[in-house]
Structure formats: structure tokens, C-alpha cells
Chains A and B, each alone.
Chain A
Amino acid sequence: KYKLDNRKSNVDMFNLTGPSRTNRPDNTAFTQQRLPAWQPILSAGIVIPGFTLIGLAFIGVGVALFVTSQKITDLEIDYTGVAATSPCFKCTSFAAENCMCQMEFTLTTLFEGPVFFYYGLTSYYQNFRTYGVSKDGYQLSGDTYYFNNPQDSCAPYQYDSNNNPIVPCGSIANSMFSDTFQLYQVVNGMKKQVPLDGKGIAWWTDYNIKYSNPALVNGSFANAFSGTVKPVNWSKPVYELDPTDQANNGFLNQNFLVWMRQAALPKFQKLYGRIAEGDYAQGLPAGNYTLLINYSYPVISFGGTKKVVLSNVSWMGGKNQFLGIAYLVIGSLCIVMAMVMLIIYAKYKFTDDDEDM
């Protein structure tokens, strides 16, 4: 306490005897704007090392990317069937139902594994704003209240004509890609099925956290969806999406999850399965292959195309030449700039010296 009083009286005395300090601004580096500062000045001489360094680094990265990208093989098979010669042409007419078509291709060398099997669409605007909005996140997270009362965002795929709630509601779900694929290797005239592993193709978080199925009702999964109807375009209800694997049904169906993650661009591909089992763990050996397609998804009406893509992936994902080339170009540009700067620097340096003389 003594100390406190002492200080107080000090302050008083201070005020009394040093009145000039009362209104005087603090003389600190901050208030006087004298903080020590680094003041870089950009000039030709200074940026040369920077450009050189960036240039070299970029060329290095560019080469690595380019080489990696070169190693990746991919195979695209367009099966839209626009041309009359295409095996799938027959399926493009409206009359065709449960149409199957076969595409054949030949691999001359080993298609190194693991091979990823994608389907791809073009001119398909999954990023169309009203389309992207058209789903009910609560419903998809298994909240049964929203089974009977889908959110308005799903309209007009909220209720069917009989006013039954649609589950899963909304346009995204309704327009789910419905083609299915089977891949066969032709060995000695015999078709040997190549297993397409459809597990784990969706995001881990989507499967485990974001989406979940409703709890079983009376031990039956189907009962959980009672009172709701399937989306208009669907042939099967959501709890029967995968007849082969009971666990791969409902909102946790892997293909459904993949579809629900909207593509960013109108030309996109989505993972269908992986070839990583049995004989094909090392990849697809050279030979003839047959792709059997259950063709049901209409795209020709809006000028879209459908394709299947086989690709092996590296650390940088699928095949993409762009990034490597871009790095190389920019890296070279930086080197060129460094040289230009060097010339300018030298020229000005000498003229400066002349002036100084």
C-alpha cells in the first residue's frame, strides 16, 4: 500500500513540477512513425537473383510435372452413340429401354495399375445454380423429419404429383447418372470380367460424416423410407440402389455420393470404380477388352456426350499436361527476364558511373 501511495504522490509531483509533459505526445518510435523499417526498392539489379531463382525452380518443377504427366496413360471411350456406326447408336432412340451396348478396345501394352474407371459427361452443367441448390442436406444426413417434409430448395422435386415426399428430393438426386458398366477382357475368345471396385470412390467425409442413412425401422431398411417415393427419374428406390451389396444402399451408395458432389465444370468425369483386385492389381494387360454398357441416361437432347475414361493416376492426379508446360514456360520467362534485367542493369550501371566521373 505504501508503494501505491508513493507512486501516487510521485505522479502528483510530476504534474506539479513537470507541467510541460501533460499534453506532450509520447516520444515513441511508433507514435512518431519512426519504427525501424525495411525499405526495399525494386530495381533491375535487385530482382535479377529473384528472377533467376524462380526461373530455375519453376523449370525444375515443370520438368518433374511434365515427366510425371507423360507417364500417365489414359484411355477415353466415347459411347454417346451419335454416329450411326457407333455400337450404342441403337440405344439413343427414345423407344429403347434397358438397352445394352458393347464398346470394344484393344490395349497394346500393359495399362499400369491401379487403373481408375471414370464415366465422363460434357455439356452437363451440374454447376447450374438452381440445379446445385436443389437438394436437402438435412434429409441426406438421415434426418427423418425431412423425409416427410423436404425443404423448399428441392422444388419442384419436393413432392410428386400425389403430394408424396420424394426421398432423396431435389434435382441433383433426380438426375443421377444411371448407366452401368461392365468390363471384360477377351481372353481366348472368352470374356473374363474385370472387377470394378466401387467401394471407397466417394470422399471419406461424405461417406462417414456428411451423409448417413436413417435408422432401421422394425429391422427393415426399406421401412425407414416408408411414406416417401423415389425420385421421378429413378427406376429403383434409394434403398435398392445396389442389389448386390446391402451396405451400399440408401444415401451411402458410393455412386450416389459421387454424383451428389457437383462437378465444377460442364465437362467433367466421375469415378465409377477402381481396378485393383486379383489379376488386374498390376493393371490391365495388353489385349482386347469389351465394355458392356447398360445405356439409359439421355444426353443427346442437350448436346452432351458420354464417355468412359480409364486412367492411372500419379501423385499429381490424372493426366494433365498444362501445369507442367505452364511451369516450364513461366520458368523460362523468368530466366529471360533475369537476362533482360541484367542487360538493363549493366547499361545503367555504366552510365551511372560515367555520370559520377
Chain B
Amino acid sequence: FFPWLVCRWRGGDCWCRTVVSNLPYEDQRPRNQPNRRYAGNAVKTNKYTLWSFLPINLCEQFRRLANIYFVGIAALNFIPEVNAFQPQVALIPICVILTLTAIKDAWEDFRRYQSDRELNGTPCLVYSRSQHGFVERRWKDIQVGDFVQVLANDIIPADILLLHASDPNGVCHMETANLDGETNLKQRRVKSPFDPLSFNATVICEKPNNNLNHFKGFLEKDQIKIGFGIESLLLRGCTVRNTAAASGIVVYAGHDTKSMLNNNRPRYKRSRVESKMNKEVLCCVFLLFCMCLIGAVGHVIWLKTFSSVPIYFIPDSDGNETPSVVAGVYRFLTMIILLQVIIPISLYLSIELVKMGQVFFITQDIDLYDKEKDMRMQCRALNITEDLGQIQYVFSDKTGTLTENKMVFRRCTIMGTEYPHTENGESGKWVGQLWSHQDTTVGRDNILPALPMDRHRHRDSTAGIPSLAFSSPLEREVIPDQNLLWSVKEVERRGVAGHWGLQGATHLEFFLALAICNTVVVSTETAQRQRVRVRGPHNSSRSRGLLPECMEGLFAQFPCLRQLSSCLKSVSCRRHSLSEDPVQSTLYDIPTSSSSVVSEDEVQASSLAGPKEVHYEAQSPDEAALVHAAKAYGFTLLERTPSHVSVRLPSGTTLTYEVLDVLTFDSVRSRMSIIVRHPHTKEIILYTKGADSGIMERLRVIANKTQKHLDMYANDGLRTLCFTRKVVSEKNYYDWLVLRQGAMAAIDRKDELVRKTAADMETNLTLLGATGIEDRLQENVPETIQALREAGIQVCVLTGDKLETAVNIAYSCKLLDQQDLVFTFNTENTFSPALRREVCKNMLSGTLAQLPLYDTQEAKVSVGLVIDGRTLGLLLDSDLQEGFVQLCTHCRAILCCRTTPLQKSRVVTLLRSKLGVMTLAIGDGANDVNMIQAADVGVGISGQEGMQAVMASDFAISRFKHLKKLLLVHGHWCYNRLANMIIYFFYKNVAYVNLLFWYQFFCGFSGTAMIDYWFMIFFNLFFTSAPPIMFGIMDREVSAAVLLQLPELYRRGQHEGGYRRSTFWIAIADAFYQSLVCFFVPYWTYKGSDIDIFTLGTPMNTASLFTIIFHLAIEIKSWTVVHWVIMVGSVVVYFVVTLAFCAMCVSCNPPSDPYWTMQEQMSDPMFYLVCILTTVVALLPRYTLHALRGTLVPSDHLRARQIDNMPPHHRDLWLQEWKKLKDLCASYPSLSSSTAQRYSTAQSPSLTLVQDPSPALAQSPSLTPVQDPSPSLVQSLNPKLAPNQGLNSAAL
């Protein structure tokens, strides 16, 4: 029975992969192996082999149009009638470019090859039938169908279907940091236990795909199918943790594995400057065409002037003269060869080099380095650095991007009672301080045994907070609300577990729900340690690394100390149990993995004082925060296995629930549930938590009070979650279970079915309460947004959060200002779609009609726009798009809430395509991937939510604040540098090539070059190639400090100030002028004399070199050592190479023979006089223009440079001056307007558009002022408004 035949039977195309064990076939030839058709585990990411390198690489290179052009020109040179140079010599440029590119490719490929080889050679354990056990093999030997065992902390070699784990519950943990950067442990579960030798089932699973979170298939054995999903798949590249050994059958190997399929190469985007540059290249082609045409026509006319054949004409081989028209065509082609350099082919190579340099400098920036994560800025796309300097719209995610995504439990409401947790608000800061302090002192505390208790007491009293939890990140810091704590204790004292009164029960149930309704994994201390150690340098402080050794030494010396220490521990732990505070002993957290003595103590201590320290591995920071909150109230999650979950109650009793099912979170339902059986009552209980939108409509009883509290939370910028409970009858549960299992085993539409069954269960819920979790703003977010604003960048925030939460975050991060006029687009859910659309349309047209009123006012009001996701969906429809886009252009800030990932990307795409603006999207989570990919520039924040965003991004940073420097400094620099470099490159080529063109007028348009062809090659290759590249990498107009201080300097790039069509043509015109000077000054000097061709060419070449170099010198804004070396070096190289070549090449490439011309010229004083005069005349206009511009119309940049040049204290003064002046200018209109007017604008900053279902109002849409009390949203905005009003009136 051959598996692939099964495939055939199931009809048409094979949707699945069938895998059977390899063991029965172990000794057979490869031909008979059942799984031989699947890829092996050896990976090969290198493109070339030693032999195939040349042909394949050449093929790839010739896909570029530019190279084909070059080869075409070279080939043209082989036609004798047409050739301009010796054919062989004409091949040199293309060969050089091809070789350089090939070397680059080869080097990259070799590095890939090396890393592949290392990976393929990694040892692993594979089951062998002959050895009856796992034997060591290499990764590359693994085949699909092999049984592989992975030990703890080993990297998984292939995608393995987990069949056995050392854990008695059949659970295996793995860390996916290598894959997606998530450091939490993921659980994998054994679905069917096995024994390798007797394994005779067939594994049927889907074809390899790149979805890391999805996998489906089933085991078929004797007609019984056991379904499995991603929860049973070990992924290649991940690391096994907390599990001694895990084994399974390989289902995907090598390139078929999910990690390899996810392994995308850096993306190649075309930057805007480059696509614009391509148009200029076309201009150059046109220019070339014109010049060649002039040459051809000129040649024909020139030929016609001769009545007879001059003695210097060369007849063709038959002795006939070529007809003049044919000669004209020939000359046209010759001219193309001669003037080919005008099309700057080497520009492409130079740009690549420049961008490599720019990327180097960006990644090297120490300001963009994040110390905590030990991460530099990453440039994943190598060729859009300059796009960073042209951004007009920034689309940002909120959670994790603007905020930390480190959740702090702030408030909760239970049964309509609100517990404000006032102390908790302060704790964050306090812990931060203590934390940094503690790092350095903890060691001393332990080493000096006389003091510790006093110390702790002392510190407690000064801090004024009764409990301490050292070594905790933010989310673990929860200080219980005293009232709530008291009532919880009361309830617990009164009742026995599980038999509480109705009122109290809710309190307890609420915390139980907090503790168990999640997917948090409890891991042990040791596992945590191992992980930290293996992962290397992520520990934050130096003292920690040294400490164990010190401790060990100390304990070894003084055994009494050891006792004392353990004694202390038990004391402190006892204190813990006495006070019932969630105290963790300080001593616990000393990393003691290297000190066996201490860890023994630890075990003792923990057995003495009760349960040991637990660590939580949560997939989302919210969950971690909630579990820690529950713990703070004494509800400690102790253990979680697939089958049960244990919680310790405040009283100390441990409840172990049997877990019947977990309905995992998905964004459609926006909730998750867990079904458990109560250990005492045996009731089946469903705990559900989720966003209020996903919960409220499923409640048995509408909870108005809680909703009010939720609104308040949202107003404060908290993330809200509702918790519900439901008791399910046995019958209902088992009925449902049948459906559920059916859904789980389904292959087609599995997700949908599973979701539907989950939703079926989550009905008629009873609300327990809700929580408010704070997501802190990242540092410097308001400043960054402010700076981006000043830089003329529109910032849009697209978030999945609630409208109120988002609006509040927007205010606090300065996206919206209290002075702003805010339009809110929000359509109620209750309307029919058609009505909603109508309402939305009216709102839009109403707002648009309103806007000019504000624009024309003297005091220009900046407009903010807040849109709800549902409304956004309507606005994105084709008929409303135009209006929406128009509205967006008027808005200073746009905030979209409750958006789906798809909507995010659609907003970006819409604005990008309709407005033609340069967009940047920044986000940190998987939900931002669409948006990041849709934008011109995608920036990923490597944050809490894994690496998907980073994987999809072009640039990866670690904090939002880095965006400021990335755009304002690096973007600005890169753009200006590249733009200047490209313009210069065009100029350089035109200036040089035109020299040859002018000569054509004096040689009968015959295509003679007065400069030796070798020198022409050298000129581009050696003499003038390095300066522009250096210019493109290193020039700096304004220093980073000033750029950061004056964000408005960024605006030039947005309007393509550095690289305009006009700039291009000015450069070309200048090039024409300079080439005329470089040609005609020597021409008139040597006219009529006995000078020969190459001797005339020498001063022209030299003067041209000086002109080109000095032209760049005028353009260079700051001269560092590198600049000097390269500029002076280029001139030196010119003379050295030219002299050497002129001395060596007697007749090495006839007919051109520059022999001794340079020496001849350099012994003539006239040569120097000519060169000096030519250079001065050529550069005089540009120099004068720059000088005049510097005085008459100094640009902002010039002013900034002047400020930059000042001594530091002066500079600060001037910067302040500048800012003041700017503020004055900005506020001038409002100053002139009456105070009353100003007051009125301040009074009604938030105008809310509220739709009314009555058609009358819908037809005449109007702006409803905030004071209108009817809609709930308006109310919700009011609290924010009030202090502002006070502030304003106070100011007035």
C-alpha cells in the first residue's frame, strides 16, 4: 500500500502529504523508500555551485537592461564600419562591471553556503531499527518519515509531528525565538503515543506552507483517524525547553519546513528617487540621440562640402567611397559608442555601493541601539534608505508601537463595584527606581548577613508600600486594592472553597477567572535559568553575572552563613504567609544555577515555606498582567497542563480543575474561553474573557454599571477586558462536544467550524467583572510625534483598540491637541447597513462643507479626525473614497480605531495611491504586517509580540522614539546625499562626454576622440568614481543635533527639494557650459599650432578632471579627513596613472598612442596656465551663484548650517531664537484675532459628528457641538474637555 497512490485516489490534485514510517524500509535502496519524493533535510540556500556560478550569474546579470545596453554597445564596436575604439578595449567597462557584481554575488553566496554547511552538519538523534534506539546523525541525513528525538535545549532539526514527550502529560515546550522572536514557551502536545518499531499509522497532513500558526492533518491507523493541528508540531529552528526529550516523526524536512518557507530574502523595493532617476536616464538617452543625430547630419553635410575626394579620405576595401547617407548612418552608430558614457550605467553600481554605505552608517548609529534588547537598528531592505527622507504620512499602530505593550493591571470592577487601585498608579515608577537600585545592592544585602532584615524593613518603610516583589518586570507589580483585598478575605473566611455566598462568590470567581482563563504556562525556576543562560547576554546587569561565584566562594568559606541564609529565607517566606502578601523573597532571585549549594537551599526553603516560586510564560502581555493580578490577591496559578489547571486560593488550599476544553482566542470572536470541571462541585464551568464588544452582546443580563465603568476605563486609556462565567449542564456540554470534535477533525473550513462551535458555547454568559489594564506610552513618544509633525509629516494612528482608549492615548501622545477641532466618525452598530452608509455619506459631505469655514478663519484650527473601524469600512468603499481622501488632506491627525489588519493596509494603499504621497507604516505585531507591506517604507518594531512585523518590514527598530532620528537625521541625510550624488553623476558624465562631442565639430563628425580611450575608461573607473560615492555616503549638510532640533528642515525632502527635474536640468546646463569651457579654452589656445591630437586632449582631460573634482568640492558641505584623502587622492591618482601609462605604453594598443604626451605637456608652462584658466572659468558661475544664494536668498538649510558652525552655547541661543521666531509666526494670526474668538475656539475644540437615525437629520447633517448631551460618546469626551477649559481660561 503506497501512500502516494492514496493521494491519487482522493482525486485530481494532491492537497495533502502522506508520510509513513521509514523504519520498515531502512535497509532498502532509496528507490523503494516510500517518502523518497519529499525533500530531505539538507538545506541549500546558495544559488550557485562552483561550476554553475559563471553561467547562472551572467544570466542573472543580463536580466538587467543596463547590462544589455552595455553589451550591445560593445558588440557594435566590433563592426568595422562603425567602431569608435579598438573592439577589445571597448569590452573593458562591461567586463569590469560584470566582474564586480559577480564578485559581490559570489561572496554573498559563499557566506550562505558556509552557514548551510554548518547547519547541515549539526548532530541530531534519529531512530535506527538495527540499533534499536536513537543514534546520532547529522541534520542533512534526516528524511521525511524518520523518527527523531530532540533533547532539552536542542534545536529542532525539522518539522516533527510530536508523538512522544518525556513529560508524563505528553507536553513538550518549545521556544520559538529563532523563528518569530517570541520568547515565551509554547506548548506542544502528544496526540497519540507511539513506539517507533510498531508505528504503522499513516500521517496525512497538508502540503508544506509557510503559515507558522496553522497546521492540520490526521493520523490514520486501522481506519481510525486522529486529528492534530499546530499544537502537535515541533517546528524546525525552535528550541525544546522544559522537556527532557521529545520525539516524533518528521513530516516536513529541509526546504519544506515552515521556517524555511518563511525565510524570505531581503526585499527589493524600488525607491522613489530611483524611479525618478530612471526618467532622467531616459532624458539622457534622448540627449544622446540628439547628439548622435547632430553628429550624423553634420557628417553628411560635411561630406557634401567636398567636391572631390580629399587625400585624407579612406575609401573602402573596393576603393569606392561610401555614399554620404550611409556614412551618416554609420557615424550615428559610431557616435553612440563614443558618447555612450552619457548614460550613466555605472550609476547603478555606484548607487548600490552608496546605499551599502548608508545602511552601514544607519545600523552603526548608537542612538538607535537598544540596550535592553541588545539590538541595533536593522535595515532589511537595502535600497530604500533615501525614501526615509521623503516621508509625508506615517501610519502607526498603537499597541506596542506608541505604547510599551507591557501591561499593568490598573483597575477592576466586580459586580458593578469599582476598585480604583490607587496605589498601583504610583507603583510603576517606584518599581522602576527600585529595580535599577536593587541591581547594584542586592549582592551586598546577602553578603552582609547582619543587615538584611533591617535593610528590608527600612526600605519598606521608606517606600511606604507593604509588599516587595524584587526582580519583577512591570506587569508583576500589582499592589492590591485594600478594600477589595479585605472583601476577598472576608468572603474566603466565611465560606468553604466552592460554597461561597452569592455576592462573595462573584469576587472569588472573578479572580479564579483571572487566574485560569488564559493560556499562561507555568514554568519552573530552573527552566527559566537555563533559558537565560543559553540565550546568552540578555541579563541586564553586571553584578548578576559575578554574583554566583562570589556567593559560592562565600558559602564555601562560611558554612554558618549558609545556614543563616536559608534561615533568613524561611523567615522572609514565613512573613509572606503570615501577612498574606504576595511577597517573593529577595533571596530567591539571585541566579544560583552555578551554585548547587544555594539551589539546594532554595529547595529546602521552598519546601519549608510552601509552594515554590513560579514563573509565567504568557503569549500576550495582557494575560501575564492578569495572572499576576490574581496572584496579588492570593489566587496563584500553580500549574497548567493540558488536562488540568491548579490554583492556590488565598487560604492556601489548592483547587485543581480538570480542563475540558480551551476555546482559543481569535480576532473575529475577540474572546477566549476555558471549560473546566470544578473539583468539588463537579460542575462544568465556562469562563470567558474578551473585549466588551465581544462579550456584552452575549450576556444574559445587560450590565449597565459595568459598561459605564468600562467606558471610564477606556477614557483613561486603559485596555478593558470583561470576564464572564457560565455553568454548563452535562448534557449541553456533551452535545456540544460532539459538534466540537467534528469541527476539530475537519480539514476543509476547519477554522470556520471551530470558530462557530466556540461561539455556540459562549452564550448566555454571566458577567463577573471587568479589568482595566494600562499600556504605558513608550518613552519620548509625544516628543517624537511632535517632531514628526513639525517635520511636516502627517501622523495617522491605526489601532484595533476601542475608540475611547485610542482617543485618550492620542491625546496623551500629542497626536491630538486640546486645541484641535476633532471630527469623530462613528456609526452605531444598530443601524442597517444601508442606513449606515447613508449616514456616513452625509457626515462626510457635511464635514467637507464645514472645513473651508475653519480654513479661512484667521486662527487656523488644526483638524483631527477620529474614525471608527466600521465607518472606516464604509469610507473606504469606492464611492466615498474621494471625499475621505479629501478630508484626510485637511486633517492634521487621523485616528482610526477598531480597524482590522486589512483595513489598515487599505487606508495606507488608498492614501498612497490617491495622494501620491510617500508613506511609512510602523507597527510591531502580526496585525500590522499588511500595513507594513502596503506602505512605501515599512518599519517594524521588535517588541513583545514577536517578529512578524519585523520580518515584513524594511527597517526594524526597537523603540518608537528611534523613528525620530531615523527619519529626521538618517532619512534626511540619505535622501540629500543620494539626490546630490545622482545629480552630480549625471552632471559628471554629461560634462565629460560633451568634451568629445564638441571635438566632433573639428574632426568632420567622424567620431574621433582626442582623449585616449584608456584614459576615458580610467577617468570613470579610477579618477572620478570614488569622490561621488564618498559624497553619497558621507556628506553632511546639517549636523544631526541641529536636524533633531529643527525638524522642519525635513520638509525639503518631502517636496523633493533635493532632486527636482529643474535641479537635473540646471546640472545638465552647467555640464554643457563647463564642457564648452573645458573644450574651447584649450582649443583657442592651441588653435593653428602644431599640436597633435592627444596632446590637445591632455589639457582638456586634465582641466575637465579639475573642474569635475572642484565642482564636487563646491557641493561638499563638510570636509572630513576622508573627504580630503579621497579628493586629493583622486587628483594624485590621475597624475600618477596618466604619467605611468603615458610612459609605459609605447604602442601597446594601436592606433591610439598617448605615449609621452602627458610628460610633454607637463614640461610646458602653458599647460598649467590653460588648466588653471579653464577650471576657474568653468566653475566661476556655480561658485558665484552659491555665494550669492548664500547671502541673498539663504535657505533654511543654510541658516541651519550657520547655526551649526557656531560655538555650542551660541548655537543653543540661536536655536531658541529660531524656535521662538517660528512660534511667533505660527501664532501670529491668532494673536491678531480677538481674545473672544480665541476663547470660543478653545471652548469647543471637540466637535463630534453624531448621526441621527431620523431621516430629517440625516439629510441635513450638522455638526453637533459637544455640549449636546444626547450621545454617549460626547459624554465620554467631556471629562477630558473640562480641565482643558479650565486651563485655557486660566491662561487667558
Contacts and interface: CB of A to CB of B under 8 A. Distances in A.
Are these two chains actual partners, yes or no? yes
Interface of A: 15-20, 22-27, 30-33, 35-47, 54, 58, 61, 65, 118, 120, 124-138, 140-141, 151, 153, 155-156, 171, 175, 203, 205, 209-210, 233, 258, 261-271, 298, 301-304, 315-318, 320, 322-323, 326-327, 330, 333-334, 337, 341, 344-345, 348
8 contacts: A30-B1122, A126-B312, A129-B84, A175-B312, A266-B1002, A301-B307, A323-B1169, A330-B1180
A210 B364 contact: no
Contact of B1165 (A35, A298, A316, A318): A316
Contact of B1008 (A129, A209, A258): A129
Contact of B1036 (A37, A118, A263, A266): A37
Given A33-B1034, A138-B1150, A345-B1191, A125 B310 contact: yes
A264 B1176 contact: no
Interface string B1012-1038: 000000000000000000000010100
A343 to B, nearest CB: 11
Nearest to B1182: A42
B1204 A267 contact: no
B972 to A, nearest CB: 12
Nearest to B1165: A315
Nearest to B308: A301
B546 A17 contact: yes
B11 interface: no
B1176 A58 contact: yes
Contacts of A334: 1180
B317 interface: yes
B1092 A264 contact: yes
Contacts of B84: 129
Nearest to B1119: A38
A160 to B, nearest CB: 12
B306 A269 contact: no
B1218 interface: no
A341 B1088 CA distance: 39
A129 B1191 CA distance: 49
A126 B1164 CA distance: 24
A268 B1089 contact: yes
A139 to B, nearest CB: 10
A330 B1173 contact: yes
Contacts of A151: 1150
B1081 interface: yes
Interface string B699-718: 00000000000000000000
Contacts of A20: 371, 374, 537, 540
A31 B1205 CA distance: 21
B310 A302 contact: yes
A261 B1160 CA distance: 13
Q: Which of A23, A24, A39, A205 has the most CB of B within 10 A?
A: A39
B812 interface: no
B1169 A205 contact: no
B1151 A137 contact: yes
Contact of B369 (A25, A126, A127): A25
A127 B1191 contact: no
B1215 interface: no
Interface string B1069-1097: 00000000000010111111111110111
Nearest to B544: A17
Given A44-B1188, A47-B1183, A262-B1092, 14 more contacts: A16-B537, A35-B1122, A128-B1008, A129-B1003, A131-B313, A132-B1008, A138-B1150, A205-B1155, A267-B1087, A269-B1088, A270-B1090, A318-B1089, A326-B1173, A344-B1191
Contacts of A24: 366, 369, 371, 374, 376
Nearest to B1202: A41
B305 A26 contact: no
Interface in B371-403: 371, 374-376
Interface string B349-379: 0000000000001011110010100111000
B938 interface: no
B757 to A, nearest CB: 46
Nearest to B1205: A39
Contacts of A262: 1092-1093
Nearest to A40: B1119
Given A132-B1093, A302-B308, A44 B1191 contact: yes
B1102 to A, nearest CB: 15
B1283 interface: no
B1187 interface: yes
Given A263-B1090, A264-B1010, A128 B313 contact: yes
A26 B363 CA distance: 11
A132 B84 CA distance: 12
Contacts of B1291: none
B314 A317 contact: no
A129 B1007 contact: yes
Contacts of A333: 1180
Going nearest first, the 6 A-B pairs with the smallest beta carbon separation are: A19-B537, A302-B310, A43-B1190, A264-B1096, A137-B1147, A137-B1150
B340 to A, nearest CB: 16
A42 B1114 contact: yes
Contacts of B1092: 261-264
Contacts of A118: 1090
B974 to A, nearest CB: 12
B450 interface: no
A263 B1176 contact: no
Given A20-B371, A40-B1119, A315-B1165, A125 B312 contact: yes
B1091 A134 contact: no
Interface in B491-545: 536-540, 542, 545
B1201 interface: yes
B1155 A32 contact: no
A298 B310 CA distance: 9
Given A25-B369, A323-B1170, A337 B316 contact: no
Given A22-B374, A263-B1092, A33 B1036 contact: yes
B198 to A, nearest CB: 48
A155 B366 CA distance: 67
A302 B311 contact: yes
